[in-house]
A and B are shown apart, each in its own frame.
Chain A
Amino acid sequence: MSVALPSEATSRDAADRTARLPSGAAQAYLFLAPWLIGFIGLTVGPTLISLYLSFTNFDLIQSPEWTGWANYVRILTNDSKFVASMQVTFFFVVFSVPLKLAFALAVALILNKGLRGLSIYRALFYLPSLLGASVAIAVLWRQLFAADGLVNQLLFSLFRIQGPSWISSPDYALWTLVVLSIWQFGSPMIIFLAGLRQIPQDLYEAASIDGASRRRQFWRITVPMLTPVIFFNAIVQTIDAFKAFTPAFIISDGIGGPVDATLFYTLYLYQEAFANFRMGYASALAWILVLIIAAFTAFSFLTARYWVHYDD
């Protein structure tokens, strides 16, 4: 970042004015105030309150009652739904993130070949990312994968297979959500595309002259040069996947069914808070999620230096 240094004259002016105007720092805070007030009032404040509530019993109507570590102890030792929802969330993260990134990279590689009408394709492929988290798409998904849905009609007319009701069968319901997530590959794809453009072409030219195959070029040039972008995408997508809520909420109407097969951690947290009115317990669940995401992110950054290559 470049900052123009004030000339001698203007700094003297400024010194004269300090008597009347707030100092530089105060001015900065003044201009920051709208954001700062929102940040403290809507983010920091509630976060601290939720930390306090996580040590209480609070049903929203009566005042909170201090219970110490009881919520955390119950979550970690005696809550089968906590375990079940963790499994669902980890399954989702482990399958949706790598598949989505692989898919995004594949499409970015194709688009990077310099197709005609690139900007149109780029917009088209990005569209699901804009729509994907919306209620309408989750509703559409429900229609597609229901017993008499489009997917089963296709299966039947093409292969004479009578498919199950994918969305409401415990064996497949979570997979339909993984597919929905992969379909929203647009934003990592755009970032991959930008990353691919940054790789100097002379590396490929040199490699071609040395007789390296396309595949070898991909693994020896593209992937290593792209690792900072892969790293960034992986972190962002993983955090997003841990926080996934809307699709599961809409598709299972907040129940997490069938048989808790789509009971994401966030959905369980929501149920405890807003269906069962255990706000204290839900706050404790939320803090455990924060710790898990923080731990995961720290782990990623620690291991990053072994596989992420920066130019400098």
Chain B
Amino acid sequence: MPSRAQAETQLRMFWWGTQERARRTFGVNDLFMERNSGVSITGETLSWGDYWPRLATQTAGRNIADIVQMDYRYIVEYAGRGALMPLDDYLGESLQITDFDAGAIDSCRVDGKLYGVNLGQNSTCSVFTRSLLEQAGVSLPGHETTWDTLGEWSLEVVDAVGRPNFWGVQDGGGVEPAFNVWVRQRGRELYNQDGTIGFTEEDITDWFAYWADLREKGAVPRADVQALDRDAPESSMLALNYAAMIFTNSNQLVAHQALNRNKLGMTMVPSGGEGAKPGQYMKPSQMWSIAAGTQAPDVAVSVVNFFVTDPDAANILGVERGVSPLPRVREAIAPNLDELDRAMLEYIDFIKDKVGPLPPVPPRAAGEIDRLLIRVNQQVGFGQLSPSEAGKQFLAESTGILERS
């Protein structure tokens, strides 16, 4: 093997995630370098929160890595500003992803051009502490759970577990992915195609009122307890042991299990009941994108291709980034997965025909509005606003944010 200094092509790779993800990613990079002498890949990694400021700063300083991990929420921002390289010319050539499941390629397109390679399929889900619920003798939540039955179920958990400061389900009023499912079940979207708000004042008011009702009944954590949740797996009501169930992204099951002594299970987000539309949808958990300014586009594409198509690479990656959209990769890794990973694989398989179409890509200020939902739901929780006042305020503030961006 040639020494790193002599390598002809040097690539930088940048992603967000946990230590576990870093371990797997470096493993695949090492394998690639072993098989392709003359290429050296260096990797940098940060947490989600630190990643985006750094990526923006590096982009501004013309110092962006060759291969960057991209999210559905930010791809418009980066592709639209010419920071990413379109991959259409490589499709079917050195990028052999044409057998991806239907929709798994289109979800990485912006204005018809391909800017990302899907690293795993993902959806929202409910994650619950299976072993604790079984011990307490409470029925496990399932895909037949509706928003209407969720409250009673949660109260059942409160009674059965009988511990102070412990509730069945988290206060989901500030969880944007759950709200997203709720509005889609009502036939609307968070955002329209043109980037404006896609739901009505009635939708958001009902949402706040729904959670206010559960809070009043003692079915969800008090506002001051729920406020300990800082929108990260480490501070979720599940990890802090204040609730038996939370809403999250399906690929994060691995991260949540690592933080929990109880065995976890997963199921769909509660359904809207009779006549409701499917609320969930399948999206890329994340993608690899290639910087427009890379010096070695061909090598970068082959690295990305290696990540998503090579069986050995797939075995290192597992389902930590979500479930591969390539059937032959799924088959290759299936025998080597543990119980938890298999549960995720089965979940994605199970919901395939129960999800709706991919919603329009969220507008630029979506992250700010996500944090606004947390704050306004807290204002209801702490009694500063009534649900109807909160609905009005949320709409006014989010519209203001969108106009400004």
Please tell me if the beta carbons of A165 and B375 are within 8 angstroms of each other in the complex. no
Please tell me if the beta carbons of A253 and B228 are within 8 angstroms of each other in the complex. no
In terms of DSSP, what is the predominant structure of the interface of chain B? helix
Please tell me if the beta carbons of B368 and A169 are within 8 angstroms of each other in the complex. no
Please tell me if the beta carbons of A276 and B230 are within 8 angstroms of each other in the complex. no
Q: Please tell me if A4 contacts chain B, counting CB pairs below 8 Å.
A: no
Please tell me if the beta carbons of A61 and B227 are within 8 angstroms of each other in the complex. no
Min C-beta distance of B316 to chain A, whole Å: 31
Q: A257-B375, A259-B378 are in contact. Are A60 and B60 (CB under 8 A)?
A: yes
Bound complex: CA A253 to CA B48 (Å) = 12
Bound complex: CA A257 to CA B222 (Å) = 15
Q: Per-residue 0/1 for A221-255: is the Cβ within 8 Å of any B Cβ (1 yes, 0 no)?
A: 00000000000000000000000000000001111
Stretch from B75-83, B275-283, B337-345 that touches the partner: B75-83
CB closest residue in chain B, given A260: B375
Please tell me if the beta carbons of A276 and B368 are within 8 angstroms of each other in the complex. yes
Bound complex: CA A259 to CA B393 (Å) = 14
- Chain B residues contacting A286 (CB-CB under 8 Å) are none
Stretch from B51-59, B97-105, B152-160, B185-193 that touches the partner: B51-59
Min C-beta distance of B242 to chain A, whole Å: 7
Bound complex: CA A148 to CA B163 (Å) = 12
Q: Please tell me if A304 contacts chain B, counting CB pairs below 8 Å.
A: no
- Chain B residues contacting A276 (CB-CB under 8 Å) are 365, 367-368
Bound complex: CA A234 to CA B367 (Å) = 39
Q: Please tell me if A274 contacts chain B, counting CB pairs below 8 Å.
A: yes
Interface residues on B, range: 35 or more
Please tell me if the beta carbons of B59 and A164 are within 8 angstroms of each other in the complex. no
- Chain A residues contacting B375 (CB-CB under 8 Å) are 255, 257, 259-260
Min C-beta distance of A49 to chain B, whole Å: 12
Bound complex: CA A254 to CA B371 (Å) = 11
- Chain A residues contacting B224 (CB-CB under 8 Å) are 147, 164-165, 168-169, 258
Residues of A38-64 whose CB lies within 8 A of B? 59-62
CB closest residue in chain A, given B83: A61
- Chain A residues contacting B230 (CB-CB under 8 Å) are 252-253, 255, 257
B53: contacting residue among A257, A258, A275, CB under 8 A? A275
Please tell me if the beta carbons of A257 and B378 are within 8 angstroms of each other in the complex. yes
Please tell me if the beta carbons of A257 and B81 are within 8 angstroms of each other in the complex. no
- Chain A residues contacting B384 (CB-CB under 8 Å) are 170, 259
- Chain B residues contacting A258 (CB-CB under 8 Å) are 223-224, 227, 378, 382
CB closest residue in chain A, given B401: A276
In terms of DSSP, what is the predominant structure of the interface of chain A? loop
B59, B164, B227, B371 interface centre (most CB from chain A within 10 Å): B227
Q: Per-residue 0/1 for B162-198: is the Cβ within 8 Å of any A Cβ (1 yes, 0 no)?
A: 0011000000000000000000000000000000000
- Chain A residues contacting B164 (CB-CB under 8 Å) are 162
Q: Please tell me if A108 contacts chain B, counting CB pairs below 8 Å.
A: no
Bound complex: CA A140 to CA B368 (Å) = 28
A61: contacting residue among B56, B365, B374, B379, CB under 8 A? B56
A62, A165, A274 interface centre (most CB from chain B within 10 Å): A165
- Chain B residues contacting A170 (CB-CB under 8 Å) are 378, 382, 384
Q: Please tell me if B225 contacts chain A, counting CB pairs below 8 Å.
A: yes
Please tell me if the beta carbons of B77 and A61 are within 8 angstroms of each other in the complex. yes
Please tell me if the beta carbons of A257 and B374 are within 8 angstroms of each other in the complex. yes
Please tell me if the beta carbons of B371 and A168 are within 8 angstroms of each other in the complex. no
Q: Please tell me if B7 contacts chain A, counting CB pairs below 8 Å.
A: no
Bound complex: CA A146 to CA B57 (Å) = 35
Bound complex: CA A293 to CA B138 (Å) = 58
Q: Please tell me if B335 contacts chain A, counting CB pairs below 8 Å.
A: no
A255: contacting residue among B223, B226, B231, B379, CB under 8 A? B231
Q: Per-residue 0/1 for B43-85: is the Cβ within 8 Å of any A Cβ (1 yes, 0 no)?
A: 0000001001100110110000000000000000110010100
CB closest residue in chain A, given B376: A259
Bound complex: CA A13 to CA B49 (Å) = 62
Min C-beta distance of A1 to chain B, whole Å: 43
A61, A148, A253, A255 interface centre (most CB from chain B within 10 Å): A61
Q: Please tell me if A93 contacts chain B, counting CB pairs below 8 Å.
A: no
- Chain A residues contacting B242 (CB-CB under 8 Å) are 147
Q: Please tell me if B232 contacts chain A, counting CB pairs below 8 Å.
A: yes
Q: Please tell me if B235 contacts chain A, counting CB pairs below 8 Å.
A: yes
A257: contacting residue among B49, B57, B59, B227, CB under 8 A? B227
Q: Please tell me if A285 contacts chain B, counting CB pairs below 8 Å.
A: no
Q: A147-B165, A253-B235, A257-B374 are in contact. Are A61 and B228 (CB under 8 A)?
A: no
- Chain B residues contacting A178 (CB-CB under 8 Å) are none
CB closest residue in chain B, given A259: B378
Please tell me if the beta carbons of A259 and B382 are within 8 angstroms of each other in the complex. yes
Q: Per-residue 0/1 for B218-242: is the Cβ within 8 Å of any A Cβ (1 yes, 0 no)?
A: 0000111111101110010000101
Q: Please tell me if A277 contacts chain B, counting CB pairs below 8 Å.
A: yes
Please tell me if the beta carbons of B81 and A168 are within 8 angstroms of each other in the complex. no
- Chain B residues contacting A277 (CB-CB under 8 Å) are 56
Please tell me if the beta carbons of A165 and B225 are within 8 angstroms of each other in the complex. yes
Bound complex: CA A260 to CA B225 (Å) = 16
Bound complex: CA A132 to CA B49 (Å) = 23
Please tell me if the beta carbons of B59 and A61 are within 8 angstroms of each other in the complex. yes
Q: Per-residue 0/1 for B369-403: is the Cβ within 8 Å of any A Cβ (1 yes, 0 no)?
A: 00100110011001010000000000000000000
CB closest residue in chain A, given B235: A253
* Shortest 4 CB-CB contacts between residues of A and residues of B: A168-B227, A253-B230, A274-B53, A258-B227
What are 15 inter-chain pairs, A to B, with CB distance below 8 A?
Answer: A60-B56, A61-B56, A61-B60, A61-B78, A62-B81, A147-B225, A169-B224, A169-B382, A253-B49, A258-B227, A258-B382, A259-B379, A260-B375, A273-B53, A275-B52
Q: Which of A's residues lie within 8 Å of B, judged by CB?
A: 59-62, 146-148, 162, 164-165, 167-170, 252-255, 257-260, 273-277
Q: Which of B's residues lie within 8 Å of A, judged by CB?
A: 49, 52-53, 56-57, 59-60, 77-78, 81, 83, 164-165, 222-228, 230-232, 235, 240, 242, 365, 367-368, 371, 374-375, 378-379, 382, 384
Contacts A165-B222, A254-B49, A258-B382 known; 6 new A-B pairs at CB < 8 A: A169-B223, A169-B227, A170-B384, A257-B227, A258-B224, A273-B53
